[in-house]
């Protein structure tokens, strides 16, 4: 009887503890936010990810009544900042601007990430997608996809393409190009896309799959020539430039993306509130205009839709990198 009594007491205490934890979580969710929120940007200031995060942070600050403070933590393809966010307290006061690099493809390029894009985070809301444009120098002899493919078929590996490093949208675009065409390009890695464009103009490399925002000033200045865009449909910002998929590269679609994530374990009511507020910010006419000026096509999603999108992206690029013979280092 005494044993049964002790067991009963233990069960009651355990249930009470669970109830208290539930209440505590509910209180946090009900009162959130009651202090400033940190938005981790795992890349340097000045890039598309940083600029997008600052637009979102500004809108969220107004809607939530608390400052949303940008915290740039650049390093190794976004790994440093993403690791820090994964270890943060899951209380809604640390969020991260994740990308296709940090939350989809890094596991295919790096063995020791110390974070899992799916297990360690909750997908809150996609902010938007970013397309690339295949560009060559104005003096380049290549004026079409057909000419580039023909040159590579005649002499595999004879052309070089610049990237911002492993897992970047430039590299993924190049890998997809090789996978679809059955050709071989030589990758030249740079610390950033700007350096690759500089060498492209200087004739040191042959091709770059650059983001539209970064390439457009060079296109407008007639310093580079566009071959095609990586999006499924033509882009309003680049009239007359056809998708690569419509130029013989069936199935070619490469869009990097920006989205908000929180550490796993963040209470569901906070996730849902944050998602709703982000959607409201992104769908504001002024924000839509600012994002599109950066080359970001707004596309807010619910947590469940964004989570499914993220998983599909991981599956897609896992296949592409495996077929390309990429091994984590």
CB atoms near residue 235 (< 10 Å): 17
Residue 234, classified by CB atoms within 10 Å of its CB into exposed (0-12), middle (13-18) or buried (19+), is middle
Polymer length in residues for the chain: 329
Q: Which of 108, 107, 152 is nearest to 327 (CA)?
A: 108
Do 105 and 172 contact (CB within 8 A), yes or no? yes
Q: What is the pLDDT of residue 194?
A: 78
The CATH number of 35-129+255-323, from 3.90.245.10, 3.10.105.10, 3.20.20.105, 3.40.190.150, is 3.40.190.150
Comma-separated ranges of CATH 3.40.190.150 domains in the chain: 35-129+255-323
What pTM did the predictor assign?
0.81
Q: For residues 283-296, b (16+ Cβ closer than 10 Å) or e, as one string?
A: ebeebeebbbebbb
Task: For the chain, 329 residues long, give each residue's pLDDT as a single digit of tens.
Answer: 444 455 544 444 444 444 444 444 443 567 899 999 999 999 888 888 999 999 999 999 999 999 999 999 988 889 999 999 999 999 999 999 999 999 999 999 898 889 999 999 999 999 999 999 999 999 999 999 999 999 999 999 999 999 887 888 899 999 999 999 999 999 998 877 778 889 999 999 999 999 888 888 899 999 999 999 999 888 888 889 999 999 999 999 998 999 999 999 999 999 999 999 999 999 999 999 999 888 898 988 999 999 999 999 999 999 888 887 888 87
Q: Locate the DSSP E strands across the chain.
A: 37-41, 68-72, 94-99, 121-137, 160-163, 186-189, 207-211, 224-229, 255-263, 296-298
Q: What is the pLDDT of residue 28?
A: 55
How far is Cα 217 from Cα 196, in angstroms, rounded to an integer? 15
Largest CA distance in the chain: 92
What token pair was written down for 114?
A: 């110390």
DSSP-assigned beta bridge partners for residue 134: 209, 228
Radius of gyration of the chain (CA): 23
Q: What is the pLDDT of residue 7?
A: 53
Query: Per CATH, is 131-246 categorized as 3.40.190.10?
Result: yes
DSSP-assigned beta bridge partners for residue 116: none
Q: What is the pLDDT of residue 29?
A: 63
Q: What is the pLDDT of residue 289?
A: 92
Comma-separated ranges of CATH 3.40.190.10 domains in the chain: 131-246
């Amino acid at each position: 009887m005494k044993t049964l009594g002790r067991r009963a007491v233990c069960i009651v205490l355990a249930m009470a503890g669970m109830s208290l934890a539930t209440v505590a979580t509910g209180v946090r969710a009900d009162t959130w936010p009651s202090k400033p929120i940190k938005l981790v940007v795992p890349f340097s200031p000045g890039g598309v990810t940083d600029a997008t995060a600052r637009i979102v942070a500004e809108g969220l600050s107004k809607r939530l009544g608390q400052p949303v403070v940008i915290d740039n933590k650049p390093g190794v393809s976004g790994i440093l900042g993403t690791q820090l966010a994964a270890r943060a307290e899951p209380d809604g006061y640390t969020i991260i601007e994740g990308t296709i690099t940090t939350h989809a493809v890094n596991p295919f390029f790096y063995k020791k990430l110390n974070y899992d894009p799916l297990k360690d985070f909750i997908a809150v809301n996609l902010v938007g997608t970013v397309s690339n444009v295949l560009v060559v120098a104005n003096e380049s002899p290549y004026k079409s996809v057909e000419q580039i493919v023909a040159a590579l078929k005649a002499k595999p590996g004879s052309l070089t393409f610049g990237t911002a490093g492993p897992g970047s949208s430039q590299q993924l675009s190049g890998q997809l190009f090789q996978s679809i065409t059955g050709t071989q390009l030589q990758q030249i890695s740079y610390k950033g896309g700007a350096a690759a464009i500089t060498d492209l103009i200087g004739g040191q490399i042959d091709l770059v799959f650059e983001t539209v925002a970064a390439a457009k000033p060079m296109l407008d200045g007639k310093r580079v020539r566009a071959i095609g865009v990586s999006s499924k449909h033509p882009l309003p910002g680049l009239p007359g430039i056809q998708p690569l998929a419509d130029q013989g590269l069936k199935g070619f679609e490469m869009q990097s993306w920006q989205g908000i994530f929180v550490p796993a374990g963040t209470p569901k009511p906070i996730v849902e509130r944050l998602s709703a507020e982000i959607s409201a910010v992104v769908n504001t006419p002024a924000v839509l205009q600012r994002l599109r000026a950066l080359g970001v096509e707004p596309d807010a999603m619910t947590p469940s839709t964004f989570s499914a999108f993220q998983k599909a992206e991981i599956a897609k690029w896992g296949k592409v990198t495996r077929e390309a013979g990429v091994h984590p280092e």
